[in-house]
Amino acid sequence: MDGEEETYGGCEEHALTSGTMKVMLSGPGQLAENETNEVNFREIPSHMLLKVCMYFTYKVCYTKSSMEIPQFPTTPKITLKLLMPGNFLDC
């Protein structure tokens, strides 16, 4: 979830690509995320989060298979903004 109240569904395996989310979802204690399986990212805009989810899918898909890895579609305009969420999410 992000600052604009958009929700992106994905399976847990995808989310574990991100080191940060791995820690959030598996840490000890009574985190709200553990119970509802939702993580809030209010600072990350929705189109960035969408791109991050697309990356998770790309990574899980090609890590498992032995096919040739195609290029992940990005443009220089979006990648500069994508650096911060990527860095925060450690993926």
Partner 1 sequence: MASFPPRVNEKEIVRSRTIGELLAPAAPFDKKCGRENWTVAFAPDGSYFAWSQGHRTVKLVPWSQCLKNFLLHGTKNVANSNSLRLSRQNSDGQKNNPCEHTIDCGDIVWSLAFGSSVPEKQSRCVNIEWHRFRFGQDQLLLATGLSNGRIKIWDVYTGKLLLNLVDHTEVIRDLTFAPDGSLILVSASRDKTLRVWDLKDDGNMMKILRGHQNWVYSCAFSPDSSMLCSVGASKAVFLWNMDKYTMIRKLEGHHHDVVACDFSPDGALLATASYDTRVYIWDPHSGGILMEFGHLFPPPTPIFAGGANDRWVRSVSFSHDGLHIASLADDKMVRFWRIDEDCPVQVAPLSNGLCCAFSTDGSVLAAGTHDGSVYFWATPRQVASLQHLCRMSIRRVMPTQEVQKLPIPSKVLEFLLYRI
User: What are the residues binding partner 1 (CB under 8 A)?
Assistant: 52, 55, 58-59, 62-63, 66, 68-69, 72, 74-76, 79-80, 82-84, 86-87, 89, 91
Give the shortest CB-19-to-partner 1 separation in angstroms: 10
Cβ closest to partner 1, residue 34 vs residue 87: 87
Q: What angle do CA 15, 29, 57 make, to 5 degrees?
A: 0
Residue 22 CB, nearest distance to partner 1 (Å)?
Answer: 14
- Packing angle, helices 19-26 and 76-89, rounded to 10: 30
11 vs 84, beta carbon nearer partner 1 = 84
Would you say 35 or 68 has its CB closer to partner 1?
68
Q: Cα–Cα distance between 33 and 2 in angstroms, integer?
A: 14
Q: Which residues contact 39 (CB under 8 A, 6 or more apart)?
A: 1, 15, 21, 24, 25, 33
Between 1 and 60, whose beta carbon lies closer to partner 1? 60
